[in-house]
Amino acid sequence: MKASELTERELIARIAKLLARQGENTILGAGEDDCAVLEIEGDDYLLITTDMLHRKTDFPIRMTGWQIGWMSVAVNLSDLASKGARPLGVVMAMGIPPDTEVGFIEEIVRGMDECAGKFGTQIIGGDTDSHDELTMVGTAFGLVRKELLIRRSGAKAGDIVCVTGNIGTAGAALIALDKEIPVSLEVLKALFEPFPRINEGMALAESRAVTSMMDISDGLALSLHDIGKASGTGFKIYESRLPVLPAVKKLLKGGELLKAVVYTGGDFELLVTVAPDKIEKARKTCPLTVIGEVVDEEFFIERGDGRVEELKALGYEHFGS
């Protein structure tokens, strides 16, 4: 069997089974959530997450060095945001082709540094190496009060499903770039300069109204399936309620619009489930859009014309997606 015959999540599950048993200080380990969670002394948990990005698959040719640096840090901070964590620091490893201009490398580093600083943290170390393809590997550390940790596994039937911000913007940019059709700077920026919801994540955790949470960088549908699998639930969402920018609706229509909004990754928004009696409390912490509800089992989307369809587990995955 080759890696290409598995989805990324299937491969992760196989890897996790081969790893040594978790230690006593491991609250959440490999493959269980957006971050590993470790017990440390005091009132906080230590959270750790890592992500690898490549020039060919993750950085469209139109991206600047600064944007590559920004995205490489943002993707890690978004995982911390999904746990309601406060960033502590980021280490970055850079695999650099030998013929890369030094000025371009410096541009990348400036983007990394500005992204970290924007969200109250800093680049605290890393590594550089020669590589055939520009490769960026980030590891972020964060802290969250133990009683405020939000897992994927807490959703319950009857909970209300919400998202922060607008969705489908990055997906629309990807489709537009692939089709080589004109796209606005507003839409491109969502893809090239994603904005991790660190402040929103911390505020939602503090509200104690949220039952589960994760980011939707791999796509809304796939993220709903991830939470459903961890929680033992299903979901029903409504196409008419999904928050989509007018520029995206103007750019794409029909099946392409649905693909961008539901089945394509790139948005760094948060997907949250909220106890029904605490929805107003959650809404006071940050802007949220209600898009559906948690159900006992299976996954559905009610289309704009009232038809109910299966919500498939499709989104951004490496390997055999």
The domains located in the chain, with CATH, are: 3-147 (3.30.1330.10), 150-310 (3.90.650.10)
- pLDDT classification of 6: cutoffs 50, 70, 90: confident
Model pTM score: 0.93
pLDDT digits (tens, 9 = 90+) for 114-143: 999 999 999 999 999 999 999 999 999 999
pLDDT digits (tens, 9 = 90+) for 157-193: 999 999 999 999 999 999 999 999 999 999 999 999 9
pLDDT digits (tens, 9 = 90+) for 213-239: 999 999 999 999 999 999 999 999 999
Distance CA 86, CA 236 (A): 31
Cβ proximity of 276 and 158 under 8 Å:
yes
pLDDT digits (tens, 9 = 90+) for 99-121: 999 999 999 999 999 999 999 99
- Where are any strands of DSSP class E within 55-102? 86-96
- pLDDT classification of 21: cutoffs 50, 70, 90: confident
- What type of residue is 308? V
Mean pLDDT of 51-59: 93
- Where are any strands of DSSP class E within the chain? 26-28, 36-39, 44-54, 86-96, 123-130, 135-145, 160-163, 210-215, 234-238, 270-274, 289-295, 299-302, 308-310
* H helix or E strand, kind and range, residue 56: helix 55-58
Residue-averaged pLDDT of the chain: 94
